[in-house]
Amino acid sequence: MTKAELVERLAEKKRMNGQHAKFVVDAIFACMEQSMRRGERIEIRGFGTFQVRSYKGYEGRNPQTGKTIAVPPKRLPFFKVGKNLAAKMNGGQRKGCV
């Protein structure tokens, strides 16, 4: 599902216009991004957890030249699926969208 499809489904299910649904989806994603930039963990019960993981820098190799390069430290978003969602994906109960 793309962001545009999510906006469309939200508008249909909650009977709101597309601009309002887009505003809601954009606001949720913006809040999530801001929280993760601050290093906060986001937990959505029954769905999963979003958090930022920090990785140390290391020495890597360019696969074409074999030359050693320094890979800088970085922070990346990580998603861990919740138990309920995992169960639904593996034959558990199915419920409707939104």
CATH of the domain at 44: 4.10.520.10
In a domain, residue 97? The reply is no
Range(s) of the domain holding residue 70 = 3-89
In a domain, residue 43? The reply is yes
In a domain, residue 98? The reply is no
- Torsion, Cα 30 36 40 45, to 10 degrees, reads 70
**pLDDT value at residue 21:** 96
- Residue range 84-94, pLDDT digits in tens: 999 888 886 65
How many residues in total does the chain contain?
98
In a domain, residue 95? The reply is no
d(C-alpha 33, C-alpha 28), whole Å: 9
In a domain, residue 96? The reply is no
In a domain, residue 14? The reply is yes
- Residue range 39-69, pLDDT digits in tens: 999 999 999 999 999 999 999 999 999 999 9
In a domain, residue 62? The reply is yes
pLDDT reading at 4 higher than 90? yes
Q: What is the pTM of this model?
A: 0.75
Q: How many domains does the chain have?
A: 1
In a domain, residue 94? The reply is no
